[in-house]
Amino acid sequence: MLGEGIRQLHERKIIDERLYEWSQSLHAIRNMVAHPEDISVSRDDAEDLQVFVNAITEYVYDLSDRYEEFKERQAEKKKPRKSIAEMFGGVLPTPAEQQLGVHPPVAPESGPRDDKDTVGTPPI
């Protein structure tokens, strides 16, 4: 059952050849652990199996997610960035306004500017 699942992961290219070969090498140990009659499994064999389980879990789940996140970040970097004029249009003066010394109107602030500008504060 487990062997069939690993084979399908390999056929669907979810795991690479190395992980598949590793799983095949551990097949006998997996069977002993899954069906322990009067057979003892060595500490080294148990550790090999544990390392494989951790590796395939990380490969299938963690690395796949990390790779997808990486690809999204790369795609985001390839999107054209806004120019400074686009980001600050209406705030920065245009080249013509700069030559004339004219600045665009500034929108009035809304709300308190600091702790002193609160309701109940007497006017100055």
Pseudo-torsion of CA 47, 53, 56, 59, nearest 10°?
Answer: -80
Q: What is the CA radius of gyration of the chain?
A: 32
pLDDT in tens, 22-54: 988 888 776 766 666 767 778 898 898 899 999
pLDDT of 122:
57
**pTM higher than the cut 0.75:** no
**One-letter amino acid for residue 10 of the chain:** H
